[in-house]
Amino acid sequence: MRILLIEDDSRTSQFLLRGLTEAGHVVDRVDDGATGLAYAREPIYDVIVSDRRLPALDGLALVRQLRAEGNATPVLMLSAAGELRERVEGIRAGCDDYLAKPYAFAELLARVEALGRRADRQRMDALLHCVDLTLDRRSRTGTRAGLDLRLHHREFLLLECLMRHEGQVVTRSMLLEAAWNYDFEPRGNIVDMHIHRLRRKVDRDFAVPLIHTVIGGGYMLSAVPP
pLDDT in tens, 155-185: 999 999 999 899 999 999 889 888 886 666 7
Q: Is residue 31 a contact partner of residue 16, using CB atoms and an 8 Å limit?
A: no
Which pLDDT score, from 0 to 100, does residue 122 have? 52
Lowest mean pLDDT among 100-104, 119-123, 128-132: 119-123
Q: Which of 76, 218, 85, 97 shows the shortest CA–CA distance to 158?
A: 218
Q: Rounded to whole angstroms, how far apart are CA atoms 44 and 21?
A: 17
pLDDT tens-digit series, residues 97-120: 999 888 899 999 999 998 987 766
Percent of the chain scored above 90 by pLDDT? 60
Mean pLDDT, residues 27-39 taken together: 94
pLDDT at 125 over 70: no
- SS3 per-residue string spanning 7-42: CCCHHHHHHHHHHHHHCCCEEEEECCHHHHHHHHCC
Residue 211 has pLDDT above 90, yes or no: yes
Is it the case that residue 35 has pLDDT exceeding 90? yes
Lowest mean pLDDT of 102-111, 119-128, 206-215, name the range. 119-128
Instruction: Give pTM, 2 decimals.
Output: 0.61
Which position has the higher pLDDT, 118 or 27? 27
Mean pLDDT of 134-142: 85
> Could you tell me the domains of the chain?
2-123 (3.40.50.2300), 127-221 (1.10.10.10)
Position 225 pLDDT exceeds 90: no
